């Protein structure tokens, strides 16, 4: 194992060691004891590098978000139509595979955040949201430039983000079919633009 040179690096080291742990146990059932054990350090040591439990959970989640972001950018780059890009944006959390584990953690995170007992939690939420809003903005502006949509205002990134949040929350309900809802929403919002983008695609 490489010698840890600075605090920031050790933070990442510990966080990376506990990714699987968080996915398996979820936020609430994750204990500092278990984290310390898994990271191979003492409980006290955790508090040398993190303020509190929230802090370390944030750090772990940050690594997931980085992954998610990277994967999303790949999908976006690999998509031609704006519709497809936006579909990936909404659908990525609900894909087959390990995504449900991440979704579970995300829901738990939202839950804690909704309890509204922590300033830091809210700040972190905001920061995450903004990173994805940036991607969304880029997608919409490019679509505008390419003429795939008429005006970005008509498909405001904020509305999209709100809808995405709603999807995550409502997906907890029995009988809620995420993909179906995503398609309906995209249909509603892109009706007019779709024809144009299809024209372009069919060239």
Partner DNA sequence: TATGAATGAGTATTCATTCAT
Partner DNA sequence: CATGAATGAATACTCATTCAT
120 is a site residue for DNA (CB under 7 A): no
Closer to DNA by CB, 28 or 188: give it.
28
Nearest 5°: the CA angle 68, 66, 1 is 125
> Which parts of the chain fold into alpha helices (H)?
7-17, 19-29, 32-39, 43-49, 53-77, 82-91, 99-115, 119-145, 157-170, 178-202
Euclidean distance between CA atoms 198 and 30, whole angstroms: 48
Q: Is 115 in the site for DNA (CB under 7 A)?
A: no
Cβ proximity to a copy of itself, 98 vs 117, nearer residue? 117
Binder of DNA out of 20, 48, 74, 120 (CB under 7 A): 48
Examine residue 167 and tell whether it contacts DNA (CB under 7 A). Answer: no
Residue 126 binding target from DNA, a copy of itself, none, CB below 5 to 8 Å by type? a copy of itself
Does 5 bind a copy of itself (CB under 8 A)? Our answer is no
- How far is 68 from 79, CA to CA, in rounded Å? 16
Tell me if 141 sits within 8 A of 85, measured CB to CB.
no
Cα separation, 45 vs 99, in Å, equals 31
Cβ proximity to DNA: between 42 and 166 the closer is 42
Q: Write each residue from 107 to 146 as x if it is in contact with a copy of itself (CB under 8 A), else as -, in one continuous string.
A: xx-xxxxxxx-----xx-xx--x-----------------
Q: How far apart are CA 144 and CA 49, in angstroms?
A: 45
The stretch among 43-51, 70-78, 96-104, 168-176 that binds DNA (CB under 7 A) is: 43-51
- Asked if 175 is part of the footprint of a copy of itself (rule: CB under 8 A), the reply reads yes
Binding site for DNA (CB under 7 A): 1-5, 7, 10, 29-33, 36, 41-49, 52-54
């Amino acid at each position: 194992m490489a010698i840890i040179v600075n605090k920031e690096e050790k933070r990442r080291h510990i966080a990376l060691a506990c990714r699987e742990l968080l996915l398996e146990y979820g936020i609430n059932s994750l204990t500092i004891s278990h984290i310390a054990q898994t990271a191979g350090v003492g409980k006290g040591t955790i508090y040398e590098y993190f303020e509190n439990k929230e802090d370390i959970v944030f750090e772990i989640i940050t690594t997931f978000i980085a992954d998610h972001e990277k994967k999303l950018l790949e999908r976006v780059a690999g998509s031609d139509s704006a519709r497809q890009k936006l579909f990936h944006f909404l659908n990525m959390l609900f894909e087959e595979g390990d995504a449900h584990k991440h979704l579970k953690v995300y829901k738990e995170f939202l839950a804690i955040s909704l309890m509204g007992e922590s300033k830091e939690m809210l700040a972190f939420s905001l920061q995450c949201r903004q990173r994805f809003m940036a991607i969304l903005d880029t997608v919409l502006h490019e679509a505008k430039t390419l003429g795939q949509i008429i005006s970005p205002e008509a498909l405001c990134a904020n509305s999209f983000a709100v809808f995405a949040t709603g999807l995550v929350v409502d997906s907890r309900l029995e009988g809620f079919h995420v993909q179906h809802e995503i398609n309906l929403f995209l249909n509603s919002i892109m009706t007019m633009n779709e024809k144009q983008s299809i024209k372009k695609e069919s060239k």
